[in-house]
Amino acid sequence: MKATYLKQCKWIKYTNYDEGKEINQNTDEAVKILKNLAEKSSPETGENNIFYKLQAKANIMLAKIYFEGKYLKQDLNQANEYGYVIGSLPPTQEYNIGRNLLGEPYLLYGKIIEARKDKGIKTDRYSFVAFDHAIEMGNLNGYYEKGLVYLKEKNIQFAADTFGIGCYQGHAESCYKAGLLYEEGKVYKKGDKNEWGEIQEDPLIVAKRYFEKCAKLGNLKCKEKLNF
């Protein structure tokens, strides 16, 4: 069985969706094979069994294909169906697949949840759970995506705090977003007091600190802000 799955997964190479190029009949064939693998059950067991890793990869790729709509029209319901397999993994399966491989899929699933909410599709899933899993598994983009959700919800302080944490964990784009919020006076205005009645630090100084951190991480937008 292992050899069969490895042979099938050669088709995965044809779904080079990152380039966004349609690959004629190979695309349809690859999607069929990915679906077959994603939906197949296996009598094999064992924490290092290759079947689980390949099946997870198939689900991830299908979720991304349907979410991004680069080969097929965007279908958030299908994206959710395949993404949910990753988004609901119990700890034992995370271990079987390899937790270090799951940061990106959890991030993707959180984005699928938010996209469905934006389209008015009812869901009982919470994107923050997926983003927190992504962060736990080393994907710092989870901070950025959480911050964007807070912004969408008009919760500026939580957004700034979340971007700030991401920044000091080493995520440059989070630094940039945090810096902008302070620079534009959206977190608080110069001279505003905190809950203890103390005047808060000048927001432009806070913004500069974030931009400096961001520039050190190589972000060109932050370097421009500092006139490097």
| pLDDT grade for 228, boundaries at 50, 70 and 90 | low
Q: What average pLDDT does range 124-139 have in this prediction?
A: 92
CATH classification for the domain delimited by 143-228, as one of 1.10.357, 1.25.10, 1.25.40, 1.20.140: 1.25.40
Q: What share of the chain in percent tops pLDDT 90? A: 57
SS3 12: helix
Element (H, E) at 27: helix 24-38
Q: Where does CATH 1.25.40 sit in the chain?
A: 1-139, 143-228
What token pair was written down for 196? 């203890």
List the single range of 7-11, 73-77, 123-127 with lowest mean pLDDT: 7-11
98 versus 130: the higher-pLDDT residue is 130
107 versus 26: the higher-pLDDT residue is 107
List the single range of 21-30, 73-82, 140-149 with lowest mean pLDDT: 21-30
Decide: 93 and 134 in contact? Cβ < 8 Å.
no
pLDDT value, residue 93: 80
pLDDT value, residue 43: 63
Task: List the CATH code of the domain at 1-139.
Answer: 1.25.40
* Euclidean distance between CA atoms 10 and 38, whole angstroms: 15
User: How do residues 1-54 score in pLDDT, each as one tens digit?
Assistant: 444 444 444 444 434 444 445 444 667 788 888 999 888 876 666 655 678 888
User: How do residues 147-170 score in pLDDT, each as one tens digit?
Assistant: 999 999 999 999 999 999 999 999
In b/e form, how buried is each residue of 140-160, taking b as 16+ CB within 10 angstroms? bbbbbbbbbbbbeeeeeeebb
